[in-house]
Amino acid sequence: MKDMVANQGKFLDPAITADGSARATVALTDPQTLWFNTGTLCNITCANCYIQSSPTNDALVYITADEVRDYLDQLEERKWAVREIAFTGGEPFMNPQMIDITRAALERGYEVLILTNAMLPMMRKTMRTGLLDLNAAYPGKLTLRISVDHYDEALHNAERGVGSFAKTLIGMNWLRDNDIPMAVAGRSVFGDSDANSRAGYAAFFAKHGYKIDAQNPGMCVLFPEMDESVEVPEITTACWGILNKSPNDIMCASSRMVVKRKGADAPTVLACTLLPYEPEFELGATLAEAETSVALNHAHCAKFCVLGGASCSA
């Protein structure tokens, strides 16, 4: 939810900022990635999870392979030039249909990205067997992006719990040994510079023999922290020129996310992967409805996407 203390009076009107300026909007100009949230249930509870995933949070329930196929049909009908289907959670491998869901996207010719902690849910025999089969059938099309909050074990464990780093390494080593492509997602919550972070991850990858380029932002993604208690500026239409940025570079110009809410009869389409609980970012049940422009009416829009320059996609 929006923090009304840090950003008092801001992000209230989708058209106008607090000082009366025209709020910036972003049109869907070049759809490249369709995201699916596979469900908010997770095997662990992290200290700073933006979506509050946990072993008990089922606010977003498991999406099914048939529901995913329906949206893949819509992609073809709407002629979106999407190249990538991406899955996030929660922990995607908690979803019992995760292998079938992944296959549904791969067999249509899409690249597939799965965000995972590479821990015990991924390491179940059924999931490992499925990943091996999919990687063999669709070589080079499947990538798993592993959440490694920090390359230092103690700092990673401070976010994800004691022992989590070692369990993630077991999963990463299995992926490495079976030539399943990996990327990594880290966080800037620890205050490291970008250069120092990438140097640290490079040493970590080299130590373990992971084929991940720490200097490639698509393979080693370093996310700015999404802290709603910090005051951020609103983005106006004038900001594009001031910041020398284009709305076409913002994540909602190139992606949408499908979720299924607890108790809902069918999934719905959201503007953004980062705002699963904000009703004004819900665009409708179909991709046709989701082709509307998005008002940058949240602190995450400013800090994470416009000022932070971050993107969840590869």
Domain spans of the chain, in order of start: 31-187+189-223
Asked if the model's pLDDT at residue 3 lies above 60, the reply is no
Q: Give first-to-last CA distance, the chain, whole Å.
A: 27
Cα separation, 192 vs 144, in Å, equals: 25
Joined together, the tokens standing for residue 20 give 């009366």
pLDDT at 189 (0 to 100) = 65
Joined together, the tokens standing for residue 199 give 């140097």
Residue 101 — very low, low, confident or very high, per pLDDT cuts 50/70/90? very high
Secondary structure tally for the chain: helices H, strands E:
8, 11
Residue 107 — very low, low, confident or very high, per pLDDT cuts 50/70/90? very high
pLDDT at 313 (0 to 100) = 62
Domain 31-187+189-223 coded CATH 3.40.50.300: no
Amino acid residing at 234: E
Joined together, the tokens standing for residue 13 give 């009107």
Bridge partners, residue 114, by sequence: 87, 144
Q: How far apart, in Å, are the Cα atoms of 132 and each of 103, 137, 142, 209, 314?
A: 12, 9, 11, 19, 22
Asked if the model's pLDDT at residue 175 lies above 90, the reply is yes
pTM: 0.94
Bridge partners, residue 35, by sequence: 86, 257
